[in-house]
Amino acid sequence: MTGPIGDETVPTLGRGVKFRFDDVRQSWVLLAPERLFVPDEQAVEILKLVDGVRSLGAIVDDLAERFKAPRELIQRDVSAMLGDLADKGAIRL
């Protein structure tokens, strides 16, 4: 990351990264070059909205609405989660 993530930032999956449901484990998995992540439920809800079209602001709005949670709280969680995955190369911001 080169700076704070703004509402207008459109997060995308990193090149070669795949997010899919694994039938064997019955869980979502994020597959990246030579590493993989099994995201928790909250992260899964965020990652499902990372489609290369929605901005961070739109993702936060969606989650705040659906989970009836304060926008600031959601924004903090989403930024932290995506920032962490960006540092690991799984997400591009």
In the complex, the residues that contact another protein under the rule CB under 8 A are 1-2, 14-16, 18, 20, 22, 24-25, 29, 31, 33-34, 36, 86-89, 93
* Beta-strand relationship, 35-37 and 18-22: unpaired
In the bound state with another protein, the residue whose beta carbon lies nearer, of 71 and 88, is: 88
DSSP-derived secondary structure letter, 69: -
Cα distance between residue 90 and residue 17, in whole Å? 6
Q: What is the CA radius of gyration of the chain?
A: 13
CB of residue 15 vs another protein: minimum separation in angstroms?
A: 4
CB of residue 66 vs another protein: minimum separation in angstroms?
A: 28
